[in-house]
Amino acid sequence: MPNLTAMVTLGVDYGTSTQGASMARTLDIGRSLTSVKPLIYRGEELKCSRKLCRGIWGLYALTIRLKKANEILLQKPRARIGLYGSYASALSLNELHKLASSTNTTLLDPDLALTYGTTLGSVRLRERIAELHSSPEVELTAANVVITPGSSMANHLVLATLCGPGDHIICGLTVASNPNNPTGTVILRDILEQVLALAQKDNIVVFSDEVFSPLFHTKDQAPPLVSLGSPRTLSTSSLSKAYALPGIRIGWVVSQDKEIIHRVSALRDYTTISV
Rounded Cα gap, residues 275 and 128, in angstroms:
16
Residue 180 CA: distances (Å) to CA of 83, 119, 170, 216, 244: 17, 31, 19, 10, 18
Q: Domain ranges in the chain?
A: 7-75, 94-268
pLDDT at 254 over 90: yes
Alpha-carbon span 157 to 55, nearest angstrom: 49
Most confident of 13-17, 69-73, 95-99: 95-99
Of 14, 53, 26, residue with least CA distance to 37:
53
For residue 54, what pLDDT band results from cuts at 50, 70 and 90? Answer: low
Q: Give me the mean pLDDT over the 17-45 stretch.
A: 46
Per-residue confidence (pLDDT) for residue 33, from 0 to 100: 41
The predicted pLDDT at position 20 comes to: 41
State residue 234 phi and psi, 5-degree precision.
Answer: -135, 150
What band does 77 get if pLDDT is binned at 50, 70 and 90? Answer: low
Which secondary-structure segment (H or E) carries 238? Answer: strand 233-238
Model confidence at 245: pLDDT above 80: yes
| Residue 257 DSSP symbol | -
Do residues 180 and 186 touch, judged by C-beta distance below 8 A? yes
Residue 28 pLDDT > 50: no
Give me the residues paired with residue 64 across strands. none
pLDDT in tens, 166-219: 877 666 677 788 888 777 788 888 888 998 888 888 888 888 899 888 887 777
Instruction: Give the pLDDT band of residue 269 (cuts 50, 70, 90).
Output: confident
User: At 25, is the pLDDT very low, low, confident or very high (cuts 50, 70, 90)?
Assistant: very low
Q: What is the pLDDT of residue 169?
A: 67
Q: What is the pLDDT of residue 166?
A: 80
- Please, which pLDDT band fits residue 29 given cuts at 50, 70 and 90? very low
Whether domain 94-268 has CATH 3.90.950.20: the reply is: no
pLDDT value for 30: 40
The more confidently predicted of residues 72 and 53 is 72
pLDDT of residue 55: 67
Comparing 56 with 67, the larger pLDDT belongs to 67
- Residue 35 scores a pLDDT above 80: no
Cα 175 to Cα 169: distance, rounded to the nearest angstrom = 9
